[in-house]
Amino acid sequence: METRSIDEEVRITQPPTEPKIKRQTKLSYRDQRDLERLPDIIEELEGRIEELSNPSPTPNVTGSELTAVAEELKGLVTTMRGL
């Protein structure tokens, strides 16, 4: 028969404790820079979306060019939603 000390018994019978989660109270330098650049990025993306949404009335636009514009516009909208 194996004998265990009281400390071993307590350690065996107690469930493992959850690690404490430290809440971040301050932005990192990189996050602060990203936050400061966000308005400029949004403005740039909105301008590009506006440009692609209202194409110039050029009758010589090919189907592949329209497809490329549609794909870029779709990507820009996805990016905007992710911000």
Residue 6, in any domain of the structure: no
Residue 40, in any domain of the structure: yes
Residue 31, in any domain of the structure: yes
User: Is pTM, for the whole model, over 0.85?
Assistant: no
pLDDT on residue 4: 61
pLDDT on residue 59: 65
Q: How many domains does the chain have?
A: 1
Residue 36, in any domain of the structure: yes
Q: Which two tokens stand for residue 68?
A: 């490329």
Residue 68, in any domain of the structure: yes
Model confidence pLDDT, tens digit, residues 23-69: 777 888 998 998 899 899 889 888 888 887 776 666 677 778 778 88
Q: Residue 73 belongs to what domain range?
A: 27-54+64-83
Residue 43, in any domain of the structure: yes
Q: Which two tokens stand for residue 6?
A: 């009281």
Residue 19, in any domain of the structure: no
Residue 22, in any domain of the structure: no
